[in-house]
Amino acid sequence: MKSKKALIDYCLSLPGAYEDHPFAEDDWTVMRRAETTRGFAWIFHRGGKLWVNVKLPPDLALDIRASYSSALPGYHMNKTHWTSLILDGSIPDALVKDLVAESYALCGAKAGKAKKAKKAKKGEEGPPD
C-alpha cells in the first residue's frame, strides 16, 4: 500500500472511522474512531516515504519489528505500544490492513473502559464520566 489515499480509504471503511488533520502541517492525517475520538492510524510522509503509526499489543509489535526492517518503534509515539510502518512495499498490503484493523480494535471504547478500571484499581482518579 504505497498510496496515502488508498490507506485513508481503507481506514474509512472501518465502522465510525473519520479523517482528522489536527496539526498545522497538512502532511499528517490522523484516522480516528467516532465513538472515542482516539486516533488509530497516524499517516504521514517522512524521508520521501509514506508511514503509518499503528497501536499493537507489545508482543505483536516486537514480532512485526523483528520480521520487517520497515517496521520500527513508533515515530513520535510510545515505543512500547505504537509501531511505525514504512509503506515501501516490503510489508504485504494484507498485513498492513490487518495491523491497522488491530490498532482500530485496540483504540475502541473497551480500551478506554479497561484503562479506567486499571486506574481505579490503582487508586488513581480519572476524569468524571
Instruction: Summarize pLDDT for 76-118 with one digit per residue, the tens.
Output: 888 889 999 999 999 999 999 999 999 999 999 764 455 555 5
- pLDDT at position 41: 96
Q: Give Cα separations from 39 to 57, 62, 74, 116 (angstroms).
A: 16, 21, 14, 18
Choice between 32 and 75, residue whose per-residue pLDDT is larger: 32
58, part of any domain? yes
pLDDT digits (tens, 9 = 90+) for 111-125: 445 555 555 556 555
Quote the radius of gyration of the chain (alpha carbons, Å). 15
pLDDT at residue 32 tops 50: yes
- pLDDT at position 121: 59
How many other C-beta atoms can be found within 10 angstroms of the C-beta atom of residue 127? 5
C-alpha span between 80 and 59 (Å, rounded): 9
39, part of any domain? yes
45, part of any domain? yes
129, part of any domain? no
Three cell numbers written together for 40: 488509530
Which CATH number characterizes residue 55's domain? Answer: 3.90.1150.30
36, part of any domain? yes
Q: How many domains does the chain have?
A: 1
Of the candidates 38, 46, 27, which has an alpha carbon nearest to the alpha carbon of residue 87?
46
Beta-carbon contacts of 9 under 8 Å, excluding residues fewer than 6 positions away, are none
127, part of any domain? no
23, part of any domain? yes
Contact 44, 29 (CB under 8 A): yes
128, part of any domain? no
Average pLDDT, the chain: 87
How many other C-beta atoms can be found within 10 angstroms of the C-beta atom of residue 73? 16
User: What's the whole-number mean pLDDT along residues 17-34?
Assistant: 91
- pLDDT at position 129: 46
Range of the structural domain that residue 71 is part of: 4-122
- pLDDT at position 24: 82
Q: Give the ranges where 33-108 is alpha helix by DSSP (H).
A: 58-67, 93-106
